[in-house]
């Protein structure tokens, strides 16, 4: 019997996602190298330490632009409603694998993750530009650059921790990775994790 | 510059200890602002010895020339016209790296060995390890390091560490015609300063004193000032310099906090998976869909 599948992400969306993901990995590795002296050797991801310093911000801009595209794709799917609040309040149950609420395309956790990423990306691009040498930093006063460096590191670390949760959630909820690799999910997956979205998708195209 | 015979006290971005067995004497440069005539011989000597040639700029209408420190001008004289009562005072301060005991540049630097503090107190940039991020500029409470436009690496006064290493005084000290710049052990320089301060006080400068700010653990370039109570008169010499709280948070508490956060996220995922197990669509979901 052929498995019934629903398209969740089209090719353009998947490419967009993986551009952001690869940029993130490169930025996180080189960024951690600049943050932790013991991990300075990770600058090797871009060849040499100085090359890492030069390339990191350009990759950052690419990630921001690619993420901006994602923002305009998904923001309207991520407005938080009553079902999401219910989900967030029962997150303990959800963690045990028991779904809560009549979830649409995204659940409360995914929506919170979306907005956390948006917040981090916005902070990262602003502070990154302020601290960017030799092009922009010289136009800003030193106390502002200090603050930018602190906020840049803090928001980057918050984003790294968030992405660990994001990746884990995708691994934990089996059948999710497929949505971002092949673009499809099974009916069973949709029905269990996103029942309202499942109904919308199946009723529209019977 | 690298490869010299000075013992290392501290090394940027290096959490492990440097060799500690030997403890050479701390040195210091004493700049007596009250006997400086503003001839700029020190600027020229610095440029000569360190082979630096700042671009010839324009006249800004003041004596300061060049107008600011740069990667090719490691020391500049800053001239201030100050009215004290009905008296005009021409305050001239030779600006440059202060060689702090607690160097903000070194604390901020992410590149191992790009900034070195020698046991004698000299803080030196080793440009071959510099990646050009400019964190040292943010770390410095005195606004001293400058990035060179040609190689995008940071430069500043080395206190002629290469000369000091072979028992010579820094070039600016050697050339100063009035003896306003002196060099020796930090202890000797403090003693010399105290005789100068006694003299100044006897001549009516009640607030004469030594500038060796505690906030950065003391410095290895010290000033004798006529108005030690108001160092900001001397072209904004900071009254109580210290490494900025922002930099301390960034290079201090944020690190363990971040380690904790990232480790917590990772460990949570691991233990969650091996205890709760993966979240698969239930049998009945599969059945319903199939039917």
* Pick from B1, B11, B28: nearest CA to B155: B1
Specify the pLDDT at position B17: 85
Mutate to test the interface with B, among A188, A191, A198 (most CBs of B within 10 A): A188
Best of B11, B129, B147, B258 to substitute, by most chain A Cβ atoms within 10 angstroms, is B258
A91 touching chain B per CB within 8 A = no
Residue-level pLDDT, tens digit, chain A, 206 residues? 567 899 999 999 999 999 999 999 999 999 999 999 999 999 999 999 999 999 999 999 999 999 999 999 999 999 999 989 999 999 999 999 888 889 999 999 999 999 999 999 999 999 999 999 999 999 999 999 999 999 999 999 999 999 999 999 999 999 999 999 999 999 999 999 999 999 999 986 55
Sequence ranges of the domains in chain A: 5-204
For every one of its 291 residues, what pLDDT tens digit does chain B have, with 9 covering 90 and above?
A: 444 567 888 999 998 888 877 778 899 999 999 999 999 999 999 999 999 999 988 999 999 999 999 999 999 999 999 998 899 999 999 999 999 999 999 999 999 999 999 999 999 999 999 999 999 999 999 999 999 999 999 999 999 999 999 999 999 999 999 999 999 999 999 999 999 999 999 999 999 999 999 999 999 999 999 999 999 999 999 999 999 999 999 999 999 999 999 999 999 999 999 999 999 987 655 555 554
> Per DSSP, what are the bridge partners of residue B173?
none
Q: CATH code for B8-248?
A: 3.30.70.20
Residue B241: closest CA among B223, B216, B220, B222: B216
pLDDT for residue B84: 87
**CA neighbours closer than 13 Å in the CB half-sphere of residue B175:** 15
How many Å lie between the alpha carbon of A38 and the closest alpha carbon of chain B? 7
Closest chain A residue to B139, measured at CA: A146
CB within 8 Å of chain B, chain A residues 15-54: 33-38, 40, 43, 49-50, 52-54
Q: Which of A36, A94, A146 best probes binding to B when mutated, by most B CB atoms within 10 angstroms?
A: A146
pLDDT attached to residue B291: 47
| CATH code at A5-204 | 1.20.950.20
Q: What is the pLDDT of residue B284?
A: 57
Asked if A134's CB is within 8 angstroms of B147's CB, the reply is yes
C-alpha–C-alpha distance, residues B145 and B135, integer Å: 10
pLDDT in tens, A115-155: 999 999 999 999 999 999 999 999 999 999 999 999 999 99
Q: Are A127 and A151 in contact (CB under 8 A)?
A: yes
Its pTM stands at: 0.93
Distance from CA of B141 to the nearest CA of A (A): 10
Q: Quick one: which of B279, B259, B243 has its CA closest to B100?
A: B243
Catalytic residue among A17, A56, A152, A166: A166
From the list A112, A107, A82, the residue with the least C-alpha distance to A189 is A107
**Cβ <8 Å between A52 and B13:** no
Active site residue A76: no
Antiparallel, parallel or unpaired: β B76-84 and B87-95: antiparallel
A143/B244 CB distance under 8 A: yes
B131 contact residues in A (CB cutoff 8 A):
43, 49-50, 52-53
A130 Cα to chain B: minimum distance (Å): 12
Q: Which residues from chain B sit within 8 angstroms of residue A158, using beta carbons?
A: 261
Distance between A198 CA and the closest CA of chain B, angstroms: 11
Q: How far apart are CA B154 and CA B147, in angstroms?
A: 4
Q: How far apart are CA A197 and CA A204, in angstroms?
A: 11
């Amino acid at each position: 019997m052929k498995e019934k599948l629903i398209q969740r992400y089209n090719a353009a969306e998947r490419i967009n996602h993986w551009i952001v993901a690869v940029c993130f990995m490169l930025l996180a590795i080189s960024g951690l190298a600049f943050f932790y002296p013991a991990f300075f050797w990770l600058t090797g991801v871009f060849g040499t330490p100085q090359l890492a310093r030069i390339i990191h911000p350009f990759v950052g801009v690419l990630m921001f632009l690619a993420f901006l595209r994602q923002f305009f794709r998904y923001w309207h799917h991520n407005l938080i409603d009553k079902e999401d609040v219910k989900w967030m309040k029962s997150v303990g149950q959800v963690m045990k694998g028991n779904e809560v609420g009549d979830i649409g395309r995204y659940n409360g956790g995914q929506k919170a993750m979306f907005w956390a990423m948006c917040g981090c990306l916005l902070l990262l691009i602003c502070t990154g530009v302020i601290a960017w040498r030799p092009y922009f930093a010289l136009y800003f006063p030193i106390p502002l650059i200090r603050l930018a460096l602190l906020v840049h590191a803090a928001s980057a670390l918050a984003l790294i921790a968030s992405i660990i949760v994001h990746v884990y959630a995708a691994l934990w909820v089996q059948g999710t990775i497929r949505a971002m690799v092949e673009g499809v999910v099974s009916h069973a997956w949709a029905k269990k994790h996103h029942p309202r979205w499942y109904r919308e998708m199946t009723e529209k195209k019977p | 510059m690298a490869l010299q015979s000075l013992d290392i006290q501290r090394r940027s971005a290096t959490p492990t200890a440097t060799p500690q067995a030997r403890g050479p004497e701390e040195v210091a440069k004493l700049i007596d602002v009250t006997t400086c005539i503003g001839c700029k011989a020190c600027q020229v000597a610095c440029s000569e010895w360190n082979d630096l040639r700042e671009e010839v700029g324009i006249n800004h209408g003041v004596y300061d020339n060049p107008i600011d420190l740069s990667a090719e001008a490691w020391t500049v004289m800053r001239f201030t016209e100050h009215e004290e009562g009905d008296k005009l005072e021409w305050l001239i301060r030779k600006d440059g790296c202060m060689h702090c005991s607690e160097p903000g540049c070194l604390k901020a630097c992410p590149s191992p060995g790009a900034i070195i503090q020698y046991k004698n107190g000299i803080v030196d940039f080793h440009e071959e390890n510099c990646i050009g991020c400019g964190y040292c500029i943010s770390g410095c409470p005195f606004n001293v390091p400058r990035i060179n436009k040609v190689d995008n690496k940071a430069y500043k006064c080395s206190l002629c560490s290469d000369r000091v290493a072979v028992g010579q005084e820094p070039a600016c000290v050697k050339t100063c015609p009035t003896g306003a710049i002196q060099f020796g052990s930090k202890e000797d320089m403090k003693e010399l300063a105290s005789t100068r301060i006694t003299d100044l006080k006897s001549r009516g400068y009640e607030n004469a004193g030594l500038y060796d700010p505690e906030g950065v653990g003391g410095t290895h370039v010290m000033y004798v000032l006529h108005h030690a109570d108001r160092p900001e008169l001397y072209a904004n010499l900071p009254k109580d310099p210290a490494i900025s709280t922002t930099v301390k948070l960034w290079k201090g508490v944020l690190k363990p906090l971040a380690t904790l956060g990232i480790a917590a996220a990772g460990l949570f995922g691991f233990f969650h998976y091996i205890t709760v197990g993966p979240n698969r669509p239930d049998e009945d979901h599969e059945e319903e869909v199939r039917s």
